[in-house]
Structure 1
């Protein structure tokens, strides 16, 4: 009989589905790509043909509204768990991810998620109303 530890499925790579029409999401995509990774991150536009081919079972409309990360063994993370797993994959941010996953870190994650959602709402991201142009490559 396997122990609880032996029953865990290790995550060896993650696919991050991001909204390519959202300047904030595109900025975060570039930031993630530039970070040293302990677990490889593959960044794929949400709702794209590639995303639909890779993950035909997903609700792709939902992935346009909420960050979704898929582990190589089929694990699905969304919302705050998706943000935390992205940080967990990064060499310099894994300790912060562990803290954010605790009750002490939860208010910070919630505040960050609410701010990002408000930004996306105001920009029209995820709705198809605000197409992204070349300015999305480096906001600010």
Structure 2
């Protein structure tokens, strides 16, 4: 990573997507080298924190915002999330290299396909264009 030091990251996740909620709970359980704030995308809290952000776009792809104003989307967002975690920083550093980037991209594409598969036939999401949120793991 280049630019100003990142001391905190905000992960904007779709709170109405079962896969996104699952990953949010997984991130919350990990040891963090850089604290992660997990905020529902397009929520009142997200809009308050980041008024200039395109909040509709944050529902379409994972978006992570650094405390220095850095905005990471899609593959870069997944990599920076892993970079923030104690047990996954080395993997994130490798995924950010030319050798690792194809694996990162395939992972993000697979997650997007899985997310789409969770949606019922005929449209993305359930009622109102969104799927239900599963209960938090115990």
3-state SS, counterpart of residue 137 of structure 1 = coil
Paired residues of 1:17 and 1:46 also in contact (CA < 8 A): yes
Superposition deviation, residue 130 in structure 1: 3.0
Q: Deviations over 1:112-133 (max 9, x none)?
A: 1111111122223678423324
TM-score by length of 2: 0.88
Distance in 1 separating the partners of 2:46 and 2:103: 30
Counterpart in 2 of 1:137?
Answer: 136
Structure with the larger RCO, 1 or 2 (CA within 8 Å, 6+ apart): 1
Aligned length: 131
**Root mean square deviation of aligned Cα:** 1.8
Distance 1:28 1:53, change over 3 A: same
**Higher-Rg member (1/2):** 1
Distance in 2 separating the partners of 1:54 and 1:118: 29
TM-score by length of 1: 0.87
3-state SS, counterpart of residue 25 of structure 2 = helix
Paired residues of 1:36 and 1:91 also in contact (CA < 8 A): yes
3-state SS, counterpart of residue 129 of structure 2 = coil
Which of structure 1's runs of 4+ aligned residues deviate more than 6 A? none
3-state SS, counterpart of residue 43 of structure 1 = strand
Distance in 2 separating the partners of 1:126 and 1:91: 33
Is 2:45 aligned against 1:50? Answer: yes
Is 2:36 aligned against 1:35? Answer: no
Distance in 2 separating the partners of 1:99 and 1:42: 24
Counterpart in 1 of 2:71?
Answer: 76
Q: Deviations over 1:3-38 (max 9, x none)?
A: xxxx93100000000010111111111110111000
- Stretches of structure 2 that go unaligned for 5 or more consecutive residues are none
Distance in 2 separating the partners of 1:75 and 1:126: 29
